[in-house]
Amino acid sequence: MTHFTSLHWIDYAVMLVYFAFVIGIGVVLKRYVLSSTDFFLSGRSLPAWVTGLAFISANLGAQEVIGMGASGAKYGIATSHFYWVGAIPAMVFVGIFMMPFYYGSRARSVPEYLKLRFDEKTRGFNAISFATMTVFSSGISLYAMGKLLNLLVGWSFGTSILIAAGIVLVYTFLGGLGSAIYNEVLQFFLIVFGFAPLAFLGLRDVGGWSGLQERLVSVAQGNGFGDGAYTQSWTYMGHSASNPVGVEWFGLVMGLGFVLSFGYWCTDFLVVQRAMAANSMSAARRTPLIAAVPKMLMPFIVILPGMLALVVGPAPRPPQDVAATPAVATPSPAADGRRLTAAVAPAEATLASNEGNAAVEAMVRAPRPQASVERGRGIIPPKIDPVTGEPMRDGRGRLVLDYDLATPMMLVRFFPAGLLGLGLTALLASFMSGMAGNVTAFNTVWTCDIYQSYIRPGMPDGHYLKMGRIATVGGVAISLAAAYVAASFNNIMDLLQLVFAFVNAPLFATFALGMFWKRATGHGAFIGLVSGTLAAAVHHGLTLPAGAHVGVKGGYFGVLQTFPSELAQTFWTAIIAWTTCFVVTIAVSLLTKPRTDEDMKGLVYSLTPIQKDAAEPWYRRPASLGAVVLVAAVALNIIFW
Amino acid sequence: MRLDIRWPIGLMFAVLGALLAVYGGVTLGRPGTAPTGVPVNLMWGLVMLAFGLVMLAGAKRGGRAG
Of the candidates A28, A189, A193, the beta carbon closest to that of B3 is on A28
**Topology of the domain comprising A12-315+351-355+402-488:** Sodium/glucose cotransporter (1.20.1730)
- Which residues in chain B are closer than 8 Å to A413, comparing Cβ atoms? 35
- With 0-12 / 13-18 / 19 or more C-beta atoms within 10 angstroms meaning exposed / middle / buried, residue A372 is exposed
pLDDT category, A323, cuts 50, 70, 90? very low
Bin A604: left if φ > 0, else alpha if -120 < ψ < 50, else beta.
beta
Residue predicted with more confidence, A264 or B66: A264
**Residues A495 and A482: beta-carbon distance below 8 Å:** no
Of the candidates A42, A204, A413, the beta carbon closest to that of B1 is on A42
Q: Which helix (H) or strand (E) holds A544?
A: strand A543-545
Of the candidates B16, B31, B35, the beta carbon closest to that of A14 is on B16
Residue-wise DSSP of B3-65: S-THHHHHHHHHHHHHHHHHHHHHTTT-TTS-TTSS-HHHHHHHHHHHHHHHHHHHHHHHHHH
pTM for the predicted model, two decimal places: 0.84
* pLDDT tens digit sequence for A218-273: 888 888 888 888 988 888 888 888 888 888 888 888 888 888 888 888 888 888 88
Q: Answer yes or no: is pLDDT of A143 > 80.
A: yes
Interface with chain B: mutation pick from A10, A15, A22, A44, highest number of B CBs within 10 Å: A10
Q: 10 Å Cβ neighbour count for A489?
A: 12
- Which residues in chain A are closer than 8 Å to B47, comparing Cβ atoms? 193
What is the rounded CA–CA span in Å between residue A133 and residue A517? 28
- B20·A14 Cβ contact <8 A: yes
HSE-up of residue A493 (Cα within 13 Å, Cβ side):
11
Q: Which residues contact A411 (CB under 8 A, 6 or more apart)?
A: A152, A198, A420, A423, A424, A427
Q: Which residues of A touch B (CB under 8 A)?
A: 10, 13-14, 17-18, 21, 24-25, 28-29, 32, 42-43, 45-46, 50, 178, 182, 185-186, 189, 193, 197, 201, 204-205, 315-316, 318, 320, 334-339, 413-419, 422
A301-314 mean pLDDT: 91
Of the candidates A32, A50, A193, the beta carbon closest to that of B48 is on A193
Of the candidates A18, A45, A193, the beta carbon closest to that of B1 is on A45
Q: Which residues contact A409 (CB under 8 A, 6 or more apart)?
A: A4, A309, A379, A380, A381
- A545: phi then psi, degrees, rounded to nearest 5: -70, 150
pLDDT at A229: 87
- Which residues in chain B are closer than 8 Å to A335, comparing Cβ atoms? 27, 30-33
- A339·B35 Cβ contact <8 A: yes
* pLDDT tens digit sequence for A397-422: 778 888 888 998 999 899 999 999 99
* pLDDT tens digit sequence for A438-490: 888 898 889 988 898 889 888 888 899 889 899 999 999 999 998 888 777 65
pLDDT at A36: 80
Q: CA-based angle A273:A279:A284, to the nearest 5?
A: 50
DSSP class of residue A563 equals E
Interface with chain B: mutation pick from A419, A425, A428, highest number of B CBs within 10 Å: A419
* pLDDT tens digit sequence for A369-392: 333 335 678 888 888 877 788 888
Average pLDDT, chain A: 82
- A335·B30 Cβ contact <8 A: yes
* pLDDT tens digit sequence for B37-65: 788 999 999 999 999 999 999 999 887 65
Closest residue, chain B, to A54 (C-alpha):
B5
- Which residues in chain B are closer than 8 Å to A317, comparing Cβ atoms? none
Nearest 10 degrees: Cα torsion A590, A595, A597, A600: -110
Where in chain A are all domains bearing CATH 1.20.1730.10? 12-315+351-355+402-488
| Residue count of chain B | 66
What is the rounded CA–CA span in Å between residue A461 and residue A47? 25
- A to B CB pairs, distance under 8 Å: 104
Q: Which of A86, A134, A56 is nearest to A436 (CA)?
A: A134
Residue predicted with more confidence, A610 or A352: A610
Beta bridge partners of A543: A561
Give the lowest-confidence range in A36-40, A442-446, A456-460, A600-604.
Answer: A36-40
pLDDT at A105: 82
First to last CA, chain A: 44
- A418·B35 Cβ contact <8 A: no
- Domains of chain B, residue spans: 6-61
In order of A55, A61, A164, A353, A534, the CA distances from A427 in angstroms are 18, 9, 12, 19, 37
**Residues A309 and A378: beta-carbon distance below 8 Å:** yes
Shortest CA gap B58–chain A (Å): 14
Q: Kindly give the pairing relationship between strand A561-563 and strand A543-545.
A: parallel
Q: Which of A408, A503, A479, A481 is nearest to A141 (CA)?
A: A479
A52-73 mean pLDDT: 85
Of the candidates A29, A205, A318, the beta carbon closest to that of B1 is on A29
In order of A53, A188, A437, A467, the CA distances from A472 in angstroms are 23, 22, 11, 8
What is the rounded CA–CA span in Å between residue A137 and residue A416? 32
Of the candidates B11, B33, B40, the beta carbon closest to that of A335 is on B33
Q: 10 Å Cβ neighbour count for A34?
A: 12
